[in-house]
Amino acid sequence: MRFRKHDKISLWALLSLLLCAMQSCVVQRIDHTPYAQTDYYRHTLQALEEQPAVTSKEDSLQVGWAKVNITPPIGTPLAGYGKRKGLRYSTVHDSVWVRTFAFDNGQAEVIFVALDMLITPMKVAAALEKEYAALGLSPGHVYLSATHTHSSFGGWGQRLVGRLMAGRYSKQLVQQTTAQIVQSIQLARQNKQPSRLGYGIAYAPQLVRNRLTGSLVGRDTTIRFFKIEQSSGKTALLVTFAAHPTILPSMDPVLSRDYPGELVDQLEKSVDFGAFAAGAVGSQAVVAPHGESYESTAAVGEALAAAILEQAPAVEMKSTARLGFARHPLLLPKPQWRLNTNYRFAPFLFHWLFGKYPTYMSSMQLGEAILLGVPADYSGELLPALERQGQPVIVTGFNGGYIGYITPDQHYYLRKYETRAMNFYGPQSGSYLTEILSRIMRQYKLSQPK
């Protein structure tokens, strides 16, 4: 078939129009609408009012703990770095575990779960929700967290990006991990004894740097920990810290807990049980004194353990405690995964690559301290706004969802990995999530006796 000249011009015009239309579908301008003017903000506030945190009066406390080995077979993919492209590990340097606490004051029971994994995978969190009823629990009773080691196992991501970050999906592995978490909850509950609880802090400024700005003030250098003593004399420590567990070489086919594993192992030379959950790790990098090596993971773990154990004897312990819990729906804007300074990919493309999962905030009260669980790498630079609420506060990430890196709004235009490639929900994510977290804290504060 031959085309006349004007037919060729018309065809080219049509093709150009189609290409422009396709581009408008795939690429859109970034939305700068103030979040306080949006429906997702109003609906999130409404949900907070309708589903406030459940709190109990102070009463005699019982605590139990347990751990279960969740190490899958050699040949399972690693999770944590896209450039691995599903690399499978051939060596286990140190096994990975789920470590669980059950806190009960006779009026309320709350469960804290810490996984030696990159995140609490969305598929695992969804599978767990089918198990809670048989345990007499609701999703709000169970606070999920992860150590965020980048050298633990994958196999839990289904969409393209999930497979890139965590290797080929395995339904069997998801089911196995879910069953092991349930087992740890059952064991922790069985091991409950009358206990005393205390909250303490220590500092490790030499082990944290701000990898986003290099600022010395933009760091969270605080180690936050709970100390528990059972009536039998056994003791435990639950620890959070904000430095990213990314010491080990990304392309080594080795399974490891990174520095959190070394920290727990060191603690358990002095106490009966230790557990670690990643804190506000967004923008917070660990300082590895000996480079990408196990000498560095050991040095960091030992330094953190020493700082904690030095402060632990001075922690005030109480045999009664107020417990609280909630799971708060978090509505979000349409994804704003950026192409460049002014344009984003269309939401449908983001969801096709990443998937679409429920998002929520978790919260738990242990004594006077409030724990806030977020589905993100939440930046330690944002913590001062929460600390100004006047209560001890601990932020942990990776609670069963994932919405990317949450950093201060003023950093949005920095040409850095965290603010460009991993900011999924736009220029106001930091202020939006921080306001919601502040409101959750105020709910707990208002529930306290006058």
Residue 201 CB burial class (10 angstroms; 0-12, 13-18, ≥19): middle
- CB of 303 within 8 A of CB of 267? no
Task: Tell me the backbone φ, ψ of residue 444, rounded to 5 degrees.
Answer: -65, -40
User: Is 43 labeled as ligand-binding?
Assistant: no
- Helices and strands counted in the chain (H then E): 11, 25
423, two tokens = 């900011």
Q: How far apart are CA 295 and CA 191, in angstroms?
A: 35
Report the candidate in 173, 150, 148, 170 with the shortest Cα–Cα distance to residue 158: 170
Listed in sequence order, the residues at least 6 apart from 212 whose beta carbon sits closer than 8 Å to its beta carbon are 218, 283, 379, 381, 407, 411, 414, 416, 418, 419
Residue 91 CB burial class (10 angstroms; 0-12, 13-18, ≥19): exposed
Report the candidate in 19, 137, 116, 11 with the shortest Cα–Cα distance to residue 67: 116
Report the candidate in 398, 194, 124, 391 with the shortest Cα–Cα distance to residue 276: 398
Question: What is the Rg, in whole angstroms, of the alpha carbon atoms belonging to the chain?
Answer: 23
Report the candidate in 405, 180, 367, 365 with the shortest Cα–Cα distance to residue 281: 405
Q: 3-state class of 447 per DSSP?
A: coil
Residue 37 CB burial class (10 angstroms; 0-12, 13-18, ≥19): exposed
Residue 147 CB burial class (10 angstroms; 0-12, 13-18, ≥19): buried
Annotation: binding site for Zn(2+): 148
Annotation: binding site: 148
